[in-house]
Amino acid sequence: MTYVPHTQVERDEMLDTVGVNTLEALFGGLPGEYLFPALDLPSGISELELEREMRELSALNVALDTRPSFLGAGTYRHFVPAIVNTVLQRGEFYTAYTPYQPELSQGMLQATYEYQSMICGLLGMEVSTASHYDGATALAEAVLMALDIAPGRRRKVLCPASVHPQYRAVVRTYLQGTDAILTGDNPSIGMDELVDALDEGVAALVVQTPNFFGGVELLERFADATQRVGALLITVVDPVSLGLFASPGELGADIVVADGQGLGIAQNFGGPHLGILATRRKHVRRLPGRLVGETTDCNGQRGYVLTLGTREQHIRRARATSNICTNAALSALAAAVYLATLGEVGLKRVAQLCYHKAHYAADQLTAIPGVVINPSSQGQPFFKEFVAVLPKPVREVNHVLLERHGIVGGYDLARAYPSHEGHMLIAVTETCTREDIDRLAAGIRSTLQ
């Protein structure tokens, strides 16, 4: 490894510190068969043959563009206007890096500023970060932020089972090694019991709306309850839903996070996504990541700069609010182009289509004998997703839907909630037609007969 910039003297010093004489001795504890294993690689082939083989392998994938899909659970098939990728593929955006030099980065800085402005307007908040990796990391950063804001010894964070299970797992990872207590995620604990559990030791309550099962929560009551005990309300939202519902800022949320994948970002085998985080102005100094602001230069001309950078790359690690290394700048740009293209009216239309098509799908499945819709939240409004309880295991139903009907079915909730065997989480977006929904209903009906 001649490219490693260590001198022989430095290597000898490190080996001496470890207590061995040679580099080989450093790995002496490993079984010999694992040091230089036989890889048994196939013989080399030509580029033409390699391309043919790769195309044959890719053909084994199920392309969602060619068939109906009702799989959501955190990543969704939404229509992406062509202008989004046209802008993203411009060289000055596609190759842009962290804009440390504003005189060379005005385009990306302005785009980020516009993104922040639109996110604040959408969420009803006063300040937004310049984006995070995804919704899960944005929530984890928001929890750390709330613990930092909380006065005294408030170390408890209430995060119910209705929050995306992968989000909760990431938060749990972030809190390892701290004295914070993450609680409330027992599926048997209802939201009313969670409100009753609020006390002087709680730093924050996390509420997802629409929740992981698609149910719309009434944020006002949670905002009132957290304010009474001096805790913060962290809200996880689907940004598309805000084309139809009131913003979480209007309803009393203190910190709002979201996954922006639905805002002009393709599913791409699960990534990259976009982490959205916004809050009240009074908490701006506690924000993780960085902010882009508008200013004027020495000639009085408008310009854009990094006005606040509290991550460890910018300031001393002990004072940093986050150790995130970069952000999802290109994904944030995609969201900005998407929101600017659709506008308020367009986003409202997308949200309406998601809402009404999901309810149409629920009505069609309700007519199938043995199928129950949203059994634990009947009467609760839902958006884009709902739970269908089937008399057969979901994995069996999904297999038949794909093989016989060419349909990608919903998410098997038993994968995250063992007690939910037979529960299918079905996502319906604006890309699903009436014919697609009718095919799904017909496919499930025939599978259950």
Residue appearing with tokens 């496919």: 443
Q: Judging by beta carbons within 10 Å of its beta carbon (0-12, 13-18, 19+), is residue 128 exposed, middle or buried?
A: buried
Q: What is the mean pLDDT of residues 381-390?
A: 98
Enumerate helices (H) and strands (E) in the chain, giving the number of each: 14, 13
- How far apart CA 241 and CA 430 sit, in angstroms, is 12
Task: Give residue 400's pLDDT.
Answer: 97
What residues have CB less than 8 Å from 17, skipping those under 6 apart?
none
Q: What is the mean pLDDT of residues 59-64?
A: 87
Structure tokens at 182: 């993450």
Model pLDDT for residues 346-384, shown as the tens digit of each residue: 999 999 999 999 999 999 999 999 999 999 888 899 999
- How far apart CA 256 and CA 168 sit, in angstroms, is 16
Share of the chain above pLDDT 70, in %: 95
Q: Which CATH homologous superfamily contains domain 68-80+344-448?
A: Aspartate Aminotransferase, domain 1 (3.90.1150.10)
- How far apart CA 344 and CA 440 sit, in angstroms, is 31
The answer to whether 281 and 127 are in contact (CB under 8 A) is: yes
The alpha helices in 95-150, defined as continuous H runs, are 106-123, 135-149
Q: Please name the amino acid found at residue 190.
A: G
Task: Compute φ and ψ for 304, nearest 5 degrees.
Answer: -125, 140
Confidence of residue 1 (pLDDT cuts 50, 70, 90): very low
- How far apart CA 185 and CA 195 sit, in angstroms, is 13
Structure tokens at 6: 């260590």
Confidence of residue 316 (pLDDT cuts 50, 70, 90): low
Task: Give residue 432's pLDDT.
Answer: 97
- How far apart CA 205 and CA 403 sit, in angstroms, is 43
Sorted by where each begins, the domain ranges of the chain are 68-80+344-448, 82-339
Task: Give residue 334's pLDDT.
Answer: 97
DSSP characters for 392-413? S-HHHHHHHHHHHH--B--EEG
Gyration radius (Cα) of the chain, Å: 25
Task: Compute φ and ψ for 182, nearest 5 degrees.
Answer: -100, 120
- How far apart CA 413 and CA 241 sit, in angstroms, is 22
- How far apart CA 393 and CA 273 sit, in angstroms, is 30
Whether pLDDT at 313 is above 80: no
- How far apart CA 445 and CA 146 sit, in angstroms, is 47
Structure tokens at 1: 């490894």
Half-sphere exposure of 317 (CA within 13 A, CB side): 3
The alpha helices in 124-234, defined as continuous H runs, are 135-149, 165-175, 191-196, 219-229
Task: Give residue 31's pLDDT.
Answer: 87
Structure tokens at 13: 């010093």
The alpha helices in 246-393, defined as continuous H runs, are 329-366
How many C-beta atoms surround the C-beta of residue 48 within 10 A? 8
Compute the mean pLDDT over every residue in the chain, rounded to the nearest whole number: 92
- How far apart CA 138 and CA 245 sit, in angstroms, is 22
- Is 125 in a helix, a strand, or coil? coil
Instruction: Name the least confident of 110-119, 237-246, 285-294, 380-389.
Output: 285-294
Task: Give residue 314's pLDDT.
Answer: 63
Task: Give residue 310's pLDDT.
Answer: 61
Task: Give residue 153's pLDDT.
Answer: 85
Q: Which CATH number fits domain 82-339: 3.40.50.10860, 3.40.640.10, 3.30.450.20, 1.20.120.430?
A: 3.40.640.10
- How far apart CA 147 and CA 150 sit, in angstroms, is 5
Q: Cα 360 to the chain's mean position, in Å?
A: 27
What residues have CB less than 8 Å from 134, skipping those under 6 apart?
259, 261, 271, 272, 273, 274, 275, 328
Task: Give residue 326's pLDDT.
Answer: 64
- How far apart CA 52 and CA 352 sit, in angstroms, is 44
Q: Please name the amino acid found at residue 263.
A: L
- How far apart CA 386 and CA 212 sit, in angstroms, is 9
- How far apart CA 93 and CA 8 sit, in angstroms, is 43
- How far apart CA 91 and CA 94 sit, in angstroms, is 5
Task: Compute φ and ψ for 72, nearest 5 degrees.
Answer: -130, -105
Crossing angle of helices 135-149 and 165-175, in 10° steps, is: 50
DSSP 8-state code for residue 379: T
Whether pLDDT at 169 is above 90: yes
Model pLDDT for residues 4-50, shown as the tens digit of each residue: 678 889 989 999 999 999 888 888 888 888 887 888 898 999 999 99
